[in-house]
Each structure stands twice: as structure tokens, then as C-alpha cells.
Structure 1
Amino acid sequence: MNKVAKAGVAAGIAGILLLGGAGTYALWQDSKTVDAGTVQTGQLKLNLGAAGVWKDVSTDVTGAPTIDPATFKLVPGDTIAFTQNLTILASGNNLKGQLTIDQSTVQAAIPVAWQPYITITVAPANLPAGITNTAGVLSFSAPGSYTFDVGITVAFAKGTNASGTDDETIENQSANLNGLALKLEQIRP
């Protein structure tokens, strides 16, 4: 290659470098702001009503009498139920929720020796119009405030421990159920 050709190639390379690096090499472009509106989030809140009531709902007890948990002595085979009034504030498309007892609060409230014998369950009752319960999942037909009762049932199983003997270590014991917590969480299948 001669000197003139070499100089031309070098000048071409230098020009390309200038355009790519420090120059103003631009393709045409344009942008417009889209009028897409505002997106909002919904809510799922749980508020408790007045203090609830305990009742003895054991199968062999007639009339489900009101009990005072401070003086009632639980024995194997007993089932007691706490009825709590609550309000759920729900708004959001496709919103579904599940109301349960927070198991970490159960483990904290129930002594370890009792845990094989005690079952605690939650069941909504007297649901108002606009809310349905399907296999424990609450669905809301429209945004709103839904007030209803929920039953927290404590069942003390009859039976023996793993060794086949009665477990007398759980006699004359107490459990503070004031720390039990209801948990409402969104469910998205």
C-alpha cells in the first residue's frame, strides 16, 4: 500500500472514532407522555370489636353456658369456644383473605406439655352479605367494611400420651390465652 492510501485509511479510522466518541452522531427520535391515569393499592385490615365471650361447647354439655376462663377447670374431653366480634376492611380487585390463629402465639401461650392434647381452630360465623367463606378463604364481592363474629375453639383431647399412660404432668396448670393473635393475610392462588 502506498503512503497516500495509508494516510486515507488512517484519516477514515480517526473520523469514525471522532463520530463514535466525542462527536454528535444521532438518529432521529421523539417521545410523548402517555396519559395512563393513576394506579392505587387496596387494603386488607383487621380490627377487633369489644372483648369476646367464652362458652363451654363440649358435646356432653347442654346449652353452651358462658364460662369465666379464670375459674373454669379444663379436663380431657372439654371444648371451649371464644367468640370475638371483628371488622375487616377490604378493598382491591381479586382480593381474598384467610383468617387464622397465628400459630407462633399458640406455641407461646400453650405450655409445651399441653400441646399434644390441645387443638385451637378459628371459624368465621354469621358472615354478612358480600363476603363468602370457601374452604377457609374469604372472598369480598365489593370494597367495604365487613363486621362479623369469629369463633376460636380450644379442644382438650381425651387420651393418653405417647407412652400409653395418662399424662398427669399437665394437671393443675394454666395457660395465658391473652396473647393469642388472629392473623388475616391475603391469599393469591
Structure 2
Amino acid sequence: MNKLVKGAVATAVGAALLMGGAGTFAYWNDSVGITGGTIVAGNLSVVDATPSDGVWTVQKDGTGTATTVPAIASFVASPGDRFTYTKTVKINATGNNLVATLALTPGSIAAVTPATAANTALASYLTSTASISATGTGISAGSVAGTYNVTAGAAGVTSRDVTLTVVINFPKSTTAGFENNTKLGSVNLSGLAVTLNQQ
């Protein structure tokens, strides 16, 4: 074989190798649609159902007849009083596997500023006794005291009314003077709130 032919063969082989290495040859392939549908996210929200204030009642020594308190800010509390606040909220919980927990928001009972020793002591004392209960469709007591489970509503259900009851006790100790550090104290309840968290 002469040099010219040898050179042509070498060039052709080299070109073929380069073409194969670069993936220039077409391979058969195909695809088919497997319609999966649509994923739709649900919702979890809680809103004030009645923008006006709820209803405050108070019981002397926690056992007497509950008396409605039209203006809680003007009521002067003393040890032994039990305050109950009732309010309706709307909960939207939509999701096939959705479960949420409803609870009183930490810090709902705050010392009035400036945070004097008496204000701080009263806020701490009342916070330690505060509890919440909730009634309505899809509401059940949670595994942790003071919490409630909220299960999802049926598809298309936008909201459900849930009645919240917050109880705040001002205990009267059997030890004389035990509550003295709360005298003239003041707390702010305007931040009273509930929190809804997905489990």
C-alpha cells in the first residue's frame, strides 16, 4: 500500500473515532405522558370571627356566681378572683393529613410598662395559672395540657367557628402575705392571643 493510501485510511479511522467519542451518532429513544394530575395545597389559619371584644366574667374565690365585667381595665383584682374570657375565632384547616395544635400564645399576659417589681410579679403569677379550652367541630384535647388538636375539615370547608375560653386565676394562698409582691401590680391583656401550629 502506498503512502497516499495509508494516509487516507489513517485519516478515515481517526475521523470515525472522533465522531464516536463526540456522540454524534443518533440513538433511538421515545417518551410517553403518564398524566399525574395536580397537587393542591391546603390551608391553616385562624382569624378573629368577631372583631369586637369577647366577654369577660369574674368569680369570687373561683366558685361564686360569674359576673360579667363590661370593662376589664376598670376592674380591680384581688387574690381569689377567677377571670374567664370567651371569644369566637374562625379556623381554616384544610389538608388530608393535616393536624394542628391550638394553644395560648406565650407572653399573652404581659407586665404593664414600666415593668415594676409588682407588675412583673403579677404577670408571672397570672401567667402560671392561665389555661385555655376550645370547642367546635374538629377540636379535641391535645396530649399536652392546655393544647387542643385541630383536624382538617372536609374539602371545600373554608372555616369553622371555634369558641375559646381563657381562664386566668388569681389564687389566694393559705400562707398569709404570699401574694404581697403583686400589690398594685398591673398587667396588659390586650396581647391575649392563640397560636395554631401544624403538628
Listed one character per residue, the Cα deviations across residues 101-142 of structure 1 (whole Å, up to 9, x for unaligned) are 2114445779432344123222113x24xx231322122452
Q: 1:49 to 1:108 in 2, by over 3 A?
A: farther
Give the CA deviation at 1:169: 3.5
Matched, 1:132 2:153: no
How far, CA to CA, are the matches of 2:62 and 2:110 in structure 1? 28
Unaligned 5+ residue runs, structure 1?
none
SS class of match (1:38): coil
Decide whether the 8 Å contact of 2:45 with 2:93 is kept in 1.
yes
SS of match in other structure, 2:78? coil
Cα deviations by residue, 1:144-183 (Å, 9 ceiling, x for unpaired): 221131001112233499xx96353421122121112211
Shift of 1:92: 1.5
* 2:121 corresponds to which of 99, 113, 116: 113
The residue type equivalent to 1:33 in the other structure is G
The reply on whether 1:91 has 2:94 as its aligned counterpart is: yes
The reply on whether 1:73 has 2:73 as its aligned counterpart is no
- Cα root mean square deviation, aligned: 3.3
Q: Is 1:28 the counterpart of 2:28 in the alignment? A: yes
- Within 5 A, what are the aligned runs for 1:1-189? 15-21=16-22, 23-50=23-50, 51-67=53-69, 68-107=71-110, 111-119=119-127, 120-125=130-135, 127-128=136-137, 131-135=138-142, 136-143=148-155, 144=157, 145-159=159-173, 166-187=178-199
Matched residue SS, 2:121:
coil
1:33 is displaced (CA, Å) by 2.7
Matched to 2:139, the amino acid is T
Tell me by how many angstroms 1:93 deviates: 0.7
Poorly superposed stretches of 4+, deviation over 6 Å: 10-14
The alpha-carbon deviation at position 59 of structure 1 amounts to 4.8
Question: TM-score scaled by structure 2?
Answer: 0.71
Gaps of 5+ in 2: 1-5, 143-147
**C-alpha displacement of 1:14:** 7.3
> What is the aligned-residue identity percentage?
28
The one-letter code sitting in structure 2 at the alignment partner of 1:73 is V
- Residues 150 and 186 of structure 1, relative CA distance in 2, 3 Å threshold: same
Counterpart residue type for residue 184 of structure 1: L
Distance, in Å, in 2 between the alignment partners of 1:116 and 1:108 is 8
On the 8 A contact 2:110/2:189 being kept in 1, the answer is no
